[in-house]
Each structure stands twice: as C-alpha cells, then as structure tokens.
Amino acid sequence: MTGNFQRPQRLNWPDLPMPTARMACFSYILLIIYASIYPFNFNVSVGATYLDWIFAPIPQYITSFDVFTNILGYLPLGFLIVFAVYPRLKSYRALLLSIIIGAFLSAGLESLQTWLVTRIPSNVDWWANISGVAIGALIAITLDPAWLSGSIFQRKRVEWFGVRSSGILLLMAFPWAQIYPQTAWLAMGGLATKWPNSILWTSTFNFATIEIATTMLAWIFAGISIALTMRKDAPKLVLLFCLLITTIILKALFSGMQFGADKSFAWLTPPALWGMIFSTILLFGALQLNRVYLYLIGICALLGMLFLVNFFPQNPYYLVTIQEWRQGRLLHFNHLMSWLAWIWPVAACLSLIKGLKLKSSI
C-alpha cells in the first residue's frame, strides 16, 4: 500500500427533487378548492364585494370546531409544499413560501365564498388556515434530507411494492374510504338505496350477525387486495396492522369532529370489534397460502361483502346515523368521501385482475 493512499470520503446524501410530492401537493390543492367551494352555486348578486370579509368584524360566535378544522385542513398543505420545493428551497425559505401560498390560496377561496349561498367567508378562517400551513411546514423542515428528497420513500416503495403503484394508492386511500359510514365497519361499495327490497328478506334478522360477517369479509378482501400488490419479502403483516390502526384513529377523529368527542368510537360496536378481530386472525393465516388461493379468496370476499351490503336489510341504527351524518358538519367533504367508499373496492378489484393477469403471463 503506497503512502499516497487516501480513504474515500463519505458521500453526502444527494439533494434530489421528489416528483411524487409535487403531484401530491397539487392534488391536495385541488381537494382544498373542491371542499371549499362545492357545490359551486355562485350568486354574484348578493350585494357584497370579494374583499369585504377582510375588513369585516370578528364573528361574535367562534366555535373551536371551525378553528380546529381549518388548521387541520391546511396543515398537510404546508407539509407537502416543503417536500415539493425541496431542494430548490430549504429551511426558512420553504417555510416562507408555504405561508405565502397558503395565504393566497385561502384568501382566494374565502373571496369566492362571498358569492356562495351555503358559505360565509371569515377572516378568522383565513388566519386559521395560515396557521395550519405554518405548522405543517415547520414540521416538515425539521426532517432529514433523506426524507425530504424522497430517497427513503422510493427505496421502501421499491423494496415493498416493486414497480407497481396500485398498492401504494390502495394503502393510502383505504383509511379515508372508511370515514363515510357504511352498513358495517370497514364495509364499502354500498348502493343499497338504489336496489329494491327483495321479497326474500321479509323475516326478522339478527343485525349483529350480519355486521360481523360484513366486517370480516370487508377486511379480508381489503387486506388480500393490498397484500397481493406487495413483494414476497415485504412485511405484509406489519403494514396491514399499521393500516388498520391508522384507519381506526382517522375514523375516530372524524367521528368526534362530526358528532362530538363522546361519540368518537360509537361506530365500534361489539359486532364490529369481534368481526375485525376474527377477520384479522383469518387474514394473517390466509397470507401464508399460495397466491392463487389468495386471489380466489379475495374475489369471493368481495362478492360476499357487496351482497351483504347491498341486498340485505339495513340496520336501523345505521339509517339513523347516515341521516345525521349527511346533515352534520363537513357536508361537502362527506360527499367526496362517500364517492371514495364506493370507488375503493372497484379499484381494488381491478388491481386483483391486473395482478392475476401479470402472474399468469410470467
């Protein structure tokens, strides 16, 4: 070994942009716009200008729910903007840009709400939105460059899901699809209002049994659909367990916002709880089977869930809940989540079909 030999220097983590974060940021901005001005029933003859809300006095009654909702709604925007502008802007520059974008976006939407019959623009909402953006950006700028560049996300995505992106999309959308109430916990694809009542179901039913069966089939179908998009060495059980916990937390959060903190877990009835426990045990056992059997079980679970959700009598407690939900808070956001609850099983079924086709072609 020569005396001129030098140990190679350790390379710093590359500062790379994250295209996925930019797409996610743009999509979230569209979601905010949709939730803020839907159903687009503008009326320009209200006798007010688009800047009156800025100089209006502070509302006499300000609820903590409204302030918390506005902060929570804009917090992910600030978080995503920091990721989207990295590495061109870092630290306080990314924070400042996030606040500016959030302020202008919120101001524009508040101005548009001047001409909406169902909305009331407020400067308190504007300040709450800015606060949410600032909090989200402050959280993001403290992260390591390995996270901000997306390198860790990309590595784990390839390691767990390979080149397919359907698994990531299904995984991220599943908790949100559970926000809007269905006939049973974790059930989706409900179109019961469009089907006529069948004369086969004229007897009295044990709704607890139906709820247990529906919950079990729904979680088995969802778990298998997501697991089949993962690679062989991916920690499937851990990811599915984390997904279930995240779904429960998100459901409790929005239920508390909708009906009050004392009813955050009102939806987690004993049948729903036992159905979730039984199906989790069965799911963990089923994941040890051959992929061909998993496809068969997943499709059968989907058909069974759709049959129970759409063709069996509706639980009277569910009918009361759905009426309160539609007339409650977050009306426009609820409408969007109801569509997601119907679309998710369709997307999961298409993913199953695509995966089966790819498997058979190898």
Question: What pLDDT is attached to residue 316?
Answer: 65
Classify each residue of 14-35 as buried b or exposed e, where b means 16 or more C-beta atoms within 10 Å of its C-beta.
Answer: eeebbebbbebbeebbeebeeb
Angle between helices 166-177 and 151-161 (to 10 degrees): 100
Same structural domain, 176 and 131? no
Task: Please tell me whether residues 139 and 182 are part of one structural domain.
Answer: no
Q: In angstroms, how far is CA 234 from the centroid of its own chain?
A: 22
pLDDT at 88: 85
Give the C-alpha separation, 219 to 230, whole Å: 17
Other Cβ atoms within 10 Å of 157 Cβ, number: 17
Residues 83 and 175 in one domain: no
Which segments in the chain show pLDDT lower than 50? 1, 5, 8-13, 193-200, 202, 360-362
Candidates 28, 152, 150; CA nearest to 98 is: 28
Shared domain check, 143 and 215: no
Q: CA-to-CA distance for 23 and 213, rounded, in angstroms?
A: 38
Q: Per residue in 43-80, pLDDT tens? A: 776 666 667 777 777 766 666 767 887 888 899 999 99
Question: Is 96 in the same domain as 200?
Answer: no
Residue 361 class from Cβ within 10 Å (0-12 exposed, 13-18 middle, 19+ buried)?
exposed
Give the whole-angstrom CA distance, residue 350 versus residue 344.
10
- Residue 254 located in a structural domain: yes
The structural domain count of the chain equals 2
**131: which residues sit within 8 A by CB, 6+ positions away?**
71, 74
DSSP reduced 3-state for 116: strand
Residue 316 near residue 277, CB atoms below 8 Å: no
CA 81 to CA 330: how far, in whole Å? 24
Together in a domain, 341 and 223: yes
The structure tokens 């004369």 sit at: 199
Same domain, 268 and 343: yes
Tell me the β-bridge partners of 42. Answer: 116
Residues 223 and 292 in one domain: yes
Token pair listed for 49: 């200008």
User: Could you tell me which of 357, 351, 359, 356 has the C-alpha nearest to residue 174?
Assistant: 351
The Cα diameter of the chain in Å comes to 93
In 243-268, which positions are buried (b, 16+ CB within 10 angstroms) versus exposed (e)? bbeebbeebbebbbbbbeeeebeebe
In a domain, 99, yes or no: yes
Last residue of a domain, one of 123, 149, 175: 149
Residue 157 within any structural domain of the chain: no
> Are residues 120 and 177 part of one domain?
no
User: Quick check: helix, strand or coil at residue 180?
Assistant: coil
Q: Is 192 domain-assigned?
A: yes
Interacting residues of 112 by C-beta distance below 8 A, sequence separation 6+: 36, 37, 42, 50
Same domain, 197 and 326: yes
Within this chain, do residues 135 and 189 fall inside the same structural domain, yes or no?
no
**Domain end position, chosen among 149, 175, 195:** 149
- Give domain status of residue 317, yes or no: yes
Domain membership flag for residue 90:
yes
Domain boundary among 149, 173, 204: 149
The residue type at 193: T
Say if 281 falls within a structural domain: yes
In this structure, the answer to whether residues 141 and 168 fall within a common structural domain is no
**Could you tell me if residue 7 is inside a domain?**
no
In which domain, by residue range, is 105 found?
A: 19-149
